[in-house]
Structure 1
Amino acid sequence: MTGKTTGAQLSIKPWIKRYPGTTGTTLVFPHAGGAALAYRSFGMALAEAGSDTYVMQYPQRGDRLTHPAPDTVADLARDLFDAADWAGMGPLRLFGHCMGAVVAFEFALTAERAGVDVAVLWASASEAPSAAATSPKLPTAEAEILAEMVDLGGTDAQLLADEDFVELLLMAVRADYQAYNRYGCAADVTIAADIYALGGAADHRVSENMLRCWETHTRGAFTVSMFDGGHFYLEDHVEDVAELVHEL
């Protein structure tokens, strides 16, 4: 990957994966258990569309395997915010898938308090932050986590038969689920950034009505767009979603 490197970009933690683009800055927040590498295709598509793109890496996976797990989603968001001088790259576009959308929301709150401009948050296949406290707790036992992975899709069944892979996956998912289970957000907590919700029409976990609950969390514009597919609809619409995110 090539591209001009600014002073702000030199201060970015090495575990944030960059896909250089020409205009604007997009930050990508993976789903629970997801590593930055899983969003390589999306990061490349965003860069090809024009966005200078940064894919976040959460603790307990990849090159952050030994980093301690965050206590809550808000702690994770602050950890990611402190990983670079984002003020030098704004206004920011944030894209989060599933739990990543809630992490992105908390990141936007942190950025707003720090005076960093966030233009828009794309919330993909995620319940609204205020729904987290009333949702059933996510599983943390091994068998239940693996059943959850199978139900959600998005993980190659052959990989789930690999003991070494499963051990690392369980570490990452359990860390994220525990942080999410401790998270809570009131319905009247808002960000100035626009919120655009995206989802899969056949997603049996996050419905269009659930996506519409994100509207209460913005003081700006709000839209919902649905795509063919299930919870991981993004895998089949990488280029289309990348163009949509970059255009606004």
Structure 2
Amino acid sequence: MIDDQRQLTFAPWVKRSPGQRADGATVVFPHAGGAAAAYRSFATALAANGTDAFVLQYPQRADRLSHPAPDTVEQLAADLFAAGDWTRLGPLRLFGHCMGAIIAFEFARVAEAHGAVVGALWVSASQAPHTVVTSPRLPTAAAEVVANMVDLGGTDPRLLDDEEFIDLLVRAVRADYLAFNRYACGPDRTISADIHLLGGRDDHQVSQEMLRGWEIHTDQAVTLTLFDGGHFYLNDHIDTVAELINAT
């Protein structure tokens, strides 16, 4: 009965992997341009020995292709929170990769304001919120978006020859980048949850120093764990990261 109630509480584009325990949930926020399907294996690993795992689908991709893009990261976070009654799940663990970590941070602020308990924010390969406003603007022209995706890695090179895939990728990335380029967060904006920082040792986009910038956004515990690999190190360490999250 609990299982059915949880499933019915959320919008259909909130992708749930049923867990082994009912004492909370892990919510996964994909990277810019990323679809929920890209995190299916990660969600399965999280749920295998932990609580329910939910992967959020942003607008302008997959089954939300016709949904309008949000103007701001804050609006996106609020819309994602409105997709279900997250307060019923118990303590939330939030995991966000790259831009997904910024969205997860704003989701945490919305959740806390509505009485939901956020136990921890897991930040993966992301600069700190307060540094975004002074960072170079992300590209939105099609050719530059594709070049940026190639530089980051994580996209199957064979798909880059598929014009239909490229069109869909650019559409999703552009929607996310436009919202990200409008984002401004002061160093005094904080959450009341632990922040755990994860990154790849060879990530040429997000350094260890950039990860540590998150320390000012909470007065709770902060940890840092590095893995072999680049910006998408997670693809090679899915089970290890899932175990780390479930162990806290």
- Counterparts of 1:8 and 1:200 in 2: how far apart (Å)? 34
> Structure 1 residue 21 and structure 2 residue 15: aligned?
no
Shift of 1:166: 0.4
Q: State the one-letter code of the partner of 1:85.
A: D
Shift of 1:169: 0.4
Q: Secondary structure at the match of 1:133?
A: helix
The 5 A counterparts of 1:1-248 are 4-23=2-21, 24-248=24-248
Shift of 1:90: 1.9
Q: 1:9 touches 1:85 (CA, 8 Å); kept in 2? A: no
Q: Secondary structure at the match of 1:132?
A: helix
- Counterparts of 2:236 and 2:115 in 1: how far apart (Å)? 36
- Counterparts of 1:161 and 1:246 in 2: how far apart (Å)? 38
Q: State the one-letter code of the partner of 1:96.
A: G
Q: 1:8 touches 1:84 (CA, 8 Å); kept in 2? A: no
Q: State the one-letter code of the partner of 1:172.
A: A
Q: 2:25 touches 2:53 (CA, 8 Å); kept in 1? A: yes
Shift of 1:223: 0.7
- Counterparts of 1:102 and 1:49 in 2: how far apart (Å)? 27
Q: Secondary structure at the match of 2:133?
A: coil
- Counterparts of 2:125 and 2:209 in 1: how far apart (Å)? 11
- Counterparts of 1:243 and 1:221 in 2: how far apart (Å)? 19
Shift of 1:54: 0.2
- Counterparts of 1:22 and 1:98 in 2: how far apart (Å)? 28
Shift of 1:50: 1.5
Give the structure-2-normalised TM-score. 0.97
After the TM superposition, list the runs of 4 or more consecutive aligned residues in structure 1 that deviate by more than 4 angstroms. none
Q: 2:7 touches 2:16 (CA, 8 Å); kept in 1? A: no
Q: Please, what is the CA RMSD of the aligned residues?
A: 1.0
Q: 2:27 touches 2:95 (CA, 8 Å); kept in 1? A: yes
Q: Secondary structure at the match of 2:134?
A: coil
- Counterparts of 2:107 and 2:173 in 1: how far apart (Å)? 20
Give the structure-1-normalised TM-score. 0.97
- Counterparts of 1:87 and 1:18 in 2: how far apart (Å)? 16
- Counterparts of 1:231 and 1:44 in 2: how far apart (Å)? 21
Shift of 1:219: 1.9
- Counterparts of 1:228 and 1:107 in 2: how far apart (Å)? 29
Shift of 1:4: 4.8
Q: Secondary structure at the match of 1:136?
A: coil
Shift of 1:6: 4.7
Identity rate of aligned residues, in percent?
62
Q: State the one-letter code of the partner of 2:20.
A: T
- Counterparts of 1:74 and 1:223 in 2: how far apart (Å)? 25
Q: 1:9 touches 1:84 (CA, 8 Å); kept in 2? A: no
- Counterparts of 2:64 and 2:246 in 1: how far apart (Å)? 28
- Counterparts of 1:113 and 1:17 in 2: how far apart (Å)? 24
- Counterparts of 2:97 and 2:90 in 1: how far apart (Å)? 21
Evaluate the alpha carbon distance shift between residue 145 and residue 33 of structure 1 in structure 2; reply closer, same or farther with a 3 A threshold. Answer: same
Aligned residues between the structures: 246
- Deviation larger for 215-224 or 29-38: 215-224
Question: Structure 1, residues 27-51: CA drift from partner, whole Å, max 9, x if none?
Answer: 0000000000000110110011212
